[in-house]
Amino acid sequence: MEVKEALQQLDLLEKKLYALKTADSALYLDGTTVAPRGTAEGRGIALAILAGERQKLMTGEETGKLLEFLSAQKEELSFEQRRQVEELYRAYHQIKSIPADEYMEYARLTNEAGDVWQKAKEADDFEMFRPSLEQMVVFNRKFAGYYDPGKKPYDALLDDYERGVDMEFLDRFFAVLREKIVPLVHAIGQKPQIDDSFLYRHYPVEAQKKFADYLMEVLGLDRDHCGIGETEHPYTLEFNNKDVRITTNYKEDNLTFAMYSVIHEGGHAKYELGIRDDLQYTCLAGGVSMGVHESQSRFYENIIGRSRPFIEAIFPKMQEFFPEQLADVTAEQMYRAVNRVEPSLVRIEADELTYCLHIMVRYEIEKQLIGGTLAVKDVPRVWNELYKEYLGVDVPDDARGCLQDSHWSGGAIGYFPSYALGSAYGAQMLRNMEKEIDVWGQVTKGDLSGVSAWLREKVHQYGGLLEPADVVKNACGELDPTVYTDYLTEKYTELYELN
């Protein structure tokens, strides 16, 4: 085989994978947004066939030979081609390492466990979900061994979501966060609480939709290339860098739920839309890791979206959209309300400061589950103990406790730490950005173009072309969690007058 011919085959393989992913995404989007309720069955059949085709394509003998050949011809490939081959070959080996029957069995389990979890959560019945979670842990430990037998199982799983990250690193990382954030939350508890009651007045959906349109405009999201829909749980879905969709959920008695979910998902969308054209329709055309993706969404949501300059910039418009509801409210009151700190039970409703404590609970539990030092039946007890220790709250039931997140039911063990890492990356990006551009001078005017351009240059454009660690280094320098905790300390000391 000639290199030129092999590269043509590579291109064809990539396009086929892209087409399968596009079909899968389109069905998912349809199923979660506009499809009538009784239509899931047919989509399920189509989705299973698409997944099977992808599996066949990725593990086929032809694919193996092609990737092996190109790997051996590395010096004749461009950097972009080399990275494509590297990533595909890695994925090929990973899928191949799992015996076919176990792979099928696991696919069936994840499919079923989602329903079981949903019902267990509704019934507040952990026992109902326990057998699924037990199987999930067994599978994940086994798969970790297939991925990388030289690593501790949980390290192999972590590496799958954020390459280069392991327990040794995360133990140190979370220790810093715990040491700095827990006393801060405690000190805030001794202070008079901020009034945020006006956020829960009646905010009609129609006005909220217009507000969401305005926010997308401020974020610089081109509506010709980024759509917005409605789903129970907000998400971002990318087809390519010219077609990204975000969703939100409008709650009439809550102004900030849709507002901050639009800004958060908008941050994910900015990332996908900013990836280079020449990487499209290849395995490099997408955000590089969960941690880096969350760094972008949480950057826009918290660091920009919950800053005083941003709130001051958009507040006059907010009063136009909601003249009666916000007639007696000032920009400063709004700024304080959206930053109110309150230890709570539910992660997705947590404030910026306590959010990472929710992640730490999940990290400790996953580490012990996969490490074999915690039995699944003891998860509720340990969960409740850790919530008391880190957040000082009593968990009244498992529905608002260890059954609240869908991740484990989908087999995502090792995913949670990316949320905390993303927050820490974001704070370091801010400090570097401030050295180069007048961030706050621009944000005060409601102008996010400088911020966007900086992130596009340092992070977005590369997609998966660079390794996650290199993207982080590029935008953050060496990771130092105290930059993040200093950012939080400064912000909340001023807000709650802690000195």
423 lies in the site for Zn ion, by CB under 5 A: no
Q: Residue 123 and residue 170: Cα distance in Å, rounded?
A: 34
Minimum gap (Å) between residue 304 Cβ and Zn ion: 15
The question of whether 265 is a catalytic residue gets the answer yes
Quick one: 395 or 420, whose CB is closer to Zn ion? 420
Quick one: 141 or 298, whose CB is closer to Zn ion? 298
Minimum gap (Å) between residue 268 Cβ and Zn ion: 6
Minimum gap (Å) between residue 289 Cβ and Zn ion: 12
Q: What is the footprint of Zn ion within residues 65-104 (CB under 5 A)?
A: none
Quick one: 167 or 338, whose CB is closer to Zn ion? 338
Q: Give the interface size with Zn ion as a residue count (CB under 5 A).
A: 1
Q: What is the footprint of Zn ion within residues 284-313 (CB under 5 A)?
A: 297
Point out the catalytic residue in the list 14, 86, 238, 265. 265
Minimum gap (Å) between residue 390 Cβ and Zn ion: 22
Quick one: 32 or 55, whose CB is closer to Zn ion? 32
Quick one: 297 or 404, whose CB is closer to Zn ion? 297
Minimum gap (Å) between residue 328 Cβ and Zn ion: 33
Minimum gap (Å) between residue 290 Cβ and Zn ion: 9
Among 475, 47, 18, smallest CA distance to 282 is for 18
- Of all residues in this chain, which one has the CB nearest to Zn ion in the complex? 297
Contacts of 39 (CB under 8 A, 6+ apart): 31
Quick one: 297 or 339, whose CB is closer to Zn ion? 297
Name the residues that contact Zn ion, by CB under 5 A: 297
Q: Which residues are catalytic?
A: 265
